[in-house]
A and B are shown apart, each in its own frame.
Chain A
């Protein structure tokens, strides 16, 4: 190897090492300012550059860096006087050097970073990757420090590295912009959700208040009606005892029936309020007593029906609940059995009670008219009367289901027309800390 080749090798060694450090520093950059700083501090170790300028274009984005005397700057979407020179270089597509004596080109650089008295020539190295992705590296040198052939190779390497890094930053910028948009939209959704949450809370509170008012109204109304009703029934009784006039007695009898019917309806409406009654107390339930009390209540109605009940009590664990509610359930079931018994056939009721899987199971069966399958889905509806001849108010089974649910229980019905009806009620045992 001759001395000249040795020297060239040494120079290349220095430059490759400097380029390696430069590439490593550029790869770490995440901002344009950092790239400008790396260019300013490290480009001079790779090539002779009195002033440098980099123009990068990718789609609509245009970025320029320039540096002189250890200072550097970057411009986003620039369109200064040097850009025209750079675009011309890109169109030509080949490296070119312009000397200061080329007046036509030089006029472009007035008031630009290249307008320095020591600038002797400007070399532009364009690299076109595609029509909308290209880069130009321009280097201004002084008369005593001209570029040599090997410099162009390094300028090309610098250009490729920068184009790669800048396209990466633009992609990241695009992602960051979309993330910001998503974040903004998320904030909007969060605000809307918060507003919705407040609206739902307000409306729920309004509904709760209205519901509470309606319950109070129902409670007060049923009680307020019962006092004058009792007076009417008393006066009818008094009237009955004061006259022997058959017509008057018939009228009194009708009055009595109407008042009794109205009293029954008020009782049922009143029963719907039972679960909310704060005076309810948990107590041990004796189903035998409950059934007996209902039989006692309907003693007169049961007379002449041939009523017989068979009660199997296999309740192993004591059941604690609200006696008024359990009684009201049996009251309505037995009253239904009486109302819808089969004419000309003795009324039979079979009640089985047993404990199973933490539930008190009550199976209530009668041998009445049964329920038409067509009306089965509606029998628990409020004010639904399944039978045209029914004299009730359509509240009985609605009330039974409502009361069972208030005890966190469940009710099912099976029936065969003119054969039987069976209600199966499952009531959960209360856990110890509820007692």
Chain B
């Protein structure tokens, strides 16, 4: 049996799946359906659950969207989840271009800079560690985030990204999701 799932295009999708596709485009602000959703399009229940988790963890909350993208990118890159590292790297870098109008500047390549506030660097470092080795999470991790000024609510929001990214990576790897053509053009 062939590994992976089949991508369900918008026109082939059931009404229920189409409705979820529409929600993803609207809330992510993109004019196409990402492959990550298409590869779950043959099971509306799973798609609904995973989309809601993604939406509540990545799109909602108080932690800046860019920081969340950087965390997901960093974890995915280390775990060699090609689809997720590429996708979230594109999203993070696209915000850089919007502001600097310079295609050569890539935020994801300069995360260790001293010019970047330590709250970003600490959050990326601690959450990446917790995602890669959840069992090694200790009081010091929480203390570090707290010293950076994160409240307990914000720490919970950050730690949820460790869980989300592992889910995103697992699903992308298991389903064999191919990088979206639309995102390839961005590269």
| Pair A40/B105 contact, Cβ less than 8 Å | no
Query: What per-residue 1/0 map shows which CB atoms of B119-160 lie under 8 Å from chain A?
Result: 110000000000000000000000000111111101100000
Chain B, Cβ-Cβ closest to A50? B147
16 A-B pairs with C-beta separation under 8 A: A6-B104, A8-B115, A10-B100, A10-B105, A10-B110, A10-B115, A13-B99, A17-B99, A21-B64, A40-B151, A41-B62, A44-B119, A44-B149, A44-B150, A69-B151, A145-B118
| Pair A6/B117 contact, Cβ less than 8 Å | no
Closest approach, in angstroms, between the C-beta of A323 and any C-beta of chain B?
88
Closest approach, in angstroms, between the C-beta of A18 and any C-beta of chain B?
6
Closest approach, in angstroms, between the C-beta of A403 and any C-beta of chain B?
85
- Centre residue among B67, B100, B120, B147 by max chain A CB count within 10 A: B147
Interface residues of A in 133-159 (CB under 8 A from B): 142, 144-145, 148, 150
Per the CB 8 Å criterion, the residue count for chain A at the interface is 36
- In order of increasing CB-CB distance, the 10 nearest A-B pairs are A70-B151, A11-B115, A44-B119, A44-B149, A7-B113, A13-B99, A7-B110, A145-B118, A69-B146, A11-B116
Question: Could you tell me which A residues sit within 8 Å of B by CB distance?
Answer: 1, 6-18, 21, 40-41, 43-50, 67-71, 118, 142, 144-145, 148, 150
Give the complex CA separation of A114 and B94 in angstroms: 39
| Pair B150/A70 contact, Cβ less than 8 Å | yes
Interface residues of B in 90-120 (CB under 8 A from A): 95-96, 99-100, 102, 104-105, 107, 110, 113-120
- Centre residue among B62, B114, B115 by max chain A CB count within 10 A: B115
Closest approach, in angstroms, between the C-beta of A75 and any C-beta of chain B?
19
Give the complex CA separation of A6 and B110 in angstroms: 8
Instruction: Give the residues in chain A near B117, CB-CB below 8 Å.
Output: 11, 14-15, 18, 44-48
Instruction: Give the residues in chain B near A48, CB-CB below 8 Å.
Output: 117-119
Instruction: Give the residues in chain B near A69, CB-CB below 8 Å.
Output: 146-147, 149, 151
Which of A14, A21, A144 is the one whose CB lies under 8 Å from B120?
Answer: A14
B66 at the interface (CB under 8 A from A): yes
| Pair B148/A44 contact, Cβ less than 8 Å | yes
Closest approach, in angstroms, between the C-beta of A147 and any C-beta of chain B?
10
| Pair A45/B120 contact, Cβ less than 8 Å | yes
Per the CB 8 Å criterion, the residue count for chain B at the interface is 30
- Centre residue among A10, A18, A40 by max chain B CB count within 10 A: A10
A10-B116, A17-B95 known; A70-B152 Cβ under 8 A = yes
Instruction: Give the residues in chain B near A21, CB-CB below 8 Å.
Output: 64
Give the complex CA separation of A68 and B116 in angstroms: 20
| Pair B119/A45 contact, Cβ less than 8 Å | yes
| Pair B96/A67 contact, Cβ less than 8 Å | no
Chain B, Cβ-Cβ closest to A69? B146
| Pair B64/A9 contact, Cβ less than 8 Å | no
Instruction: Give the residues in chain B near A6, CB-CB below 8 Å.
Output: 104-105, 110
Interface residues of B in 23-70 (CB under 8 A from A): 62, 64, 66-67
A13-B107, A17-B95 known; A1-B113 Cβ under 8 A = no
**Extra inter-chain contacts (4) besides given A1-B105, A17-B64, CB under 8 Å:** A6-B110, A13-B96, A14-B66, A145-B118
Give the complex CA separation of A145 and B147 in angstroms: 11
| Pair A1/B116 contact, Cβ less than 8 Å | no
Give the complex CA separation of A40 and B154 in angstroms: 11
- Centre residue among B99, B117, B151 by max chain A CB count within 10 A: B117
- Centre residue among A1, A16, A17, A44 by max chain B CB count within 10 A: A44
